[in-house]
Amino acid sequence: MSPAPASSFAPPKPTPVWLGWLTFAFFIFTQIYAVVTSPADAMMGHLQKMMYVHVPAAWVTFAAFGVVLVASLFFLWKDDERADLLAASAAEVGSMFCGLTLVLGMLWGRPTWGVWWSWDARLTSTLVLFLIFVGYLALRSFVEDPHRRGQWSAAVGILGAINVPIVWMSVKWWRTLHQIQSNPRGLSPEYLRGLLLNVAAFTLLTVWFIWKRYEAARLERAAEHASQAAALGGYNG
C-alpha cells in the first residue's frame, strides 16, 4: 500500500452544525423583520416584499460566481486541488441561487408585468448565466480524472464568469422592462434597512452553503484518493 499521496487531503475538521442553525435563524429573523417593517408600496402594494428575497438572491449569485472565478484562477496558477473544490462548491451554490433568482423573478413578474417571462436583456442574460453554469456542473460530472476535471472546469468557469458583468450591465446597455440598478440613497430607509439586513443574511447563508459543500467535496476527494491508492495497491488493496 503506498502512503496517502497528498497529506493536504486529510479530510477537514467539520464545522459545528449550530453555526448553520444560527445562520438560518438570522435569515428567518431578517425576513420577518423586513416584511413587518416595510409599508406597502405605492405601485406594487405588498408585492414589493418579493424584493427581500429576489434582490439578495441575485447579488449572492454574483458573489458566488465571483468566488468561482477567483478560485479557478488560483487553481490554474498554483495547482492546488482545494481551490478546484472551492470553485465547484461555489458554482453549485451560485447556480442554485441563480435558479432561485429566476424563479422568484418570474413569480414577481407575473403579477407586476402580467407575464411570467419576457425576452428582455436582464432576464435572458440571467437565464444564460444559469445555463452556462449548468454546463459547468455537467462538465464536472462527465470527467473522471480529478486533475483534468479541475483544469477543464477552471477554464469553463473563468469564461463563464465573463457573463456576470454582462448580466449586471444588461439593464444599462439595453432598454429593458426590468428595473435598473437603483441608488441606495434613492430608496427610502424603511425599505433599505430591510434589504440590507436580508443581503447580510443571504451572504451568511451562501458562505455556509459553500463551506458545507466544500467540506463534503473534500471528503469525497479524500475517498477518491484512498480508492486510487487502493487500486494502485492491487488486489489486497
Partner 1 sequence: MAFRDDVRRIRAIVWKDLTTERRSKAGFNSVASLGVTILVLFGFALGPDAQALRDAAAGALWLAVLFAGVLAFNRSYQVELDGGALEALLLYPGARWAIFAGKLIANLIFVTAMLVIVVAVGIVLFQVRVPEQWPTLLGIMMLGVVGIVALGTFYAAMSSRSRAREVLLPLLLYPMLIPVLLASMEATKAFLNGDLLNASGAWVQMLSLFDVIFLVATFLAFEYVIEV
Partner 2 sequence: MNLQVRAGEMVGLLGHNGCGKSTFMRIVATLLKASAGDCFVYGSNVKTEGDAVRHHVGFFSHVPGLYDDLSARENLAFAATMLGFPEADIDAALERVGLTHVTNERVRGFSAGMQRRLSLARLILQRPRLLLLDEPYNNLDVAGIALMNGFIRELNAAGGAAVVVLHDLVPAQGVIDRTVTIKEGRVVVPTADDLRHDGASPQAITLPAGAAGIS
Task: State the residues that interact with ligand ATP by CB under 6 A.
Answer: 144, 231-232
Among 25, 32, 159, 180, binds partner 1 (CB under 8 A): 159
d(CA 212, CA 188): 36
**What is the three-class DSSP state of 134?**
helix
Helix (H) / strand (E) containing 183: none
- From the CB of 9, what's the least distance to partner 2, in Å? 9
d(CA 27, CA 148): 38
**What is the three-class DSSP state of 45?**
strand
d(CA 6, CA 179): 50
d(CA 171, CA 204): 27
Instruction: Phi first, then psi: give them for residue 57, nearest 5 degrees.
Output: -60, -45
- Please give the residues from 121 up to 140 whose contact with ligand HEM meets the rule CB under 6 A: 122-123, 126
Stretch that binds partner 2, among 96-104, 132-140, 162-170, 223-231 (CB under 8 A): 223-231
- From the CB of 233, what's the least distance to ligand ATP, in Å? 9
d(CA 153, CA 85): 10
Query: Vertex 96, ends 14 and 80: CA angle to 5°?
Result: 50
Instruction: Phi first, then psi: give them for residue 235, nearest 5 degrees.
Output: -60, -40
- Evaluated on CA atoms 174, 176, 180, 186, the torsion sign reads positive
- State the number of binding residues for partner 1 (CB under 8 A): 36
Examine residue 179 and tell whether it contacts partner 2 (CB under 8 A).
no
- Please give the residues from 137 up to 156 whose contact with partner 2 meets the rule CB under 8 A: 144, 147
Which C-beta is closer to ligand ATP: that of 145 or that of 175?
A: 145
Q: Which does 3 bind (CB under 5 to 8 A by kind): partner 2, partner 1, ligand HEM, none?
A: partner 2
Which C-beta is closer to partner 2: that of 5 or that of 45?
A: 5
Among 28, 138, 223, 230, binds partner 1 (CB under 8 A): 138
Distance from the first to the final alpha carbon of the chain: 7
Binding site for partner 2 (CB under 8 A): 1-3, 5-6, 144, 147, 225, 228-229, 231-237
Binding site for partner 1 (CB under 8 A): 76, 106, 115-120, 124, 127-128, 131-132, 134-139, 141-143, 145, 147-148, 151-152, 154-156, 158-160, 162-163, 166
Binding site for ligand HEM (CB under 6 A): 51, 54-55, 58, 101-102, 105-106, 108-109, 112-113, 122-123, 126, 167-168, 178-179, 181-182
